[in-house]
Each structure stands twice: as structure tokens, then as C-alpha cells.
Copies of this chain bind each other. A is one copy, B any other.
Amino acid sequence: MTPADPDFEQRTRDSFARQPAMTTIGIELREVGAGSVVLSMPYRADLTQQHGFQHAGILATGLDSACGYAAFSLMPADAGVLTIEFKVNLLAPARGPLLTFEGTVTKPGRTISVVDGRAYESGGAGKERKLVATMTATVMTIIGRADVRH
């Protein structure tokens, strides 16, 4: 996919760095491509649900950022991104020790983009990575709104 802004990687990294939720939760930006983003976080025992699995909302947090920034990478330099809606399927309990969130644009658009995301757990000794959740997100390109920039 062709990004509207040649400097898309730095612009995406800069915007990601402005998300306090990522720092607080411990989600880091690993890779930025044109239309794709990879994030990761170590399992956090203090962000689990009642059975010790990473809370579904935390998975949604990582997936939403992955999907939003995958779309953002393709947008013009002066655009902001907002998520309109997302849907998450939880396929397996997420127990880590490492979680990875991948977002890939399925359909870029001038106003509306559709992005698919996948969350994996990995990192255990001799353990293959395992798909634990999927997301489909619809995101919007926002231009000219003072409170939604970058």
C-alpha cells in the first residue's frame, strides 16, 4: 500500500508516543510498515480478569492501537485517526508471557479504513506462538479538527 506521507514511519512513532495508555500498560511499538503495525507487551498479572487471563479489554487496547496506527501510517501528514468501532473475538485465554498485536489495513480509504488485527501469545520455552484474539476495526481519517490531530 502507498502511504500519503513519505515520512509515515516517524509520524506514526511520534503519535504512538503520545498515547499515555501505552506506557502505563507497557505496550511498545515494534514495527511500522505502510499499512501495518506490530506492538508487544509483557503479560501483566495486575491487568488480568478473575481466572488470571489477560483481561479482554487489555487485548482490545493493544489491538485497537495496532489497527488505528496501521491505518494512520497511510494517512496524510495533517490527519488524525479515530476508531469508529471494533469487534473482537477471543479465541483462547491469554497468559503470555509475551503478547503481540498486529494490525494490517484490509481496505484503505480516504475517509473510512477497515483494519484487521491479531493478538498472539508467545515466549514460553519451546512454545509456538498462539493466536488468542482477532479484531476488525473501522477507523476514520480526521482532517481539520483541532482536538484530533496527529
Contacts and interface: CB of A to CB of B under 8 A. Distances in A.
Interface SS of A by simple majority: mixed
Query: How many copies are assembled?
Result: 4
A93 B57 contact: no
A13 to B, nearest CB: 12
Which of A45, A58, A62, A65 has the largest number of chain B CB atoms within 10 A?
Answer: A58
Interface stretch (A30-38, A82-90, A120-128): A82-90
Interface in A13-28: 15-16, 18-21, 23-25
Contacts of A51: 80, 147-149
A56 B46 contact: no
A112 interface: yes
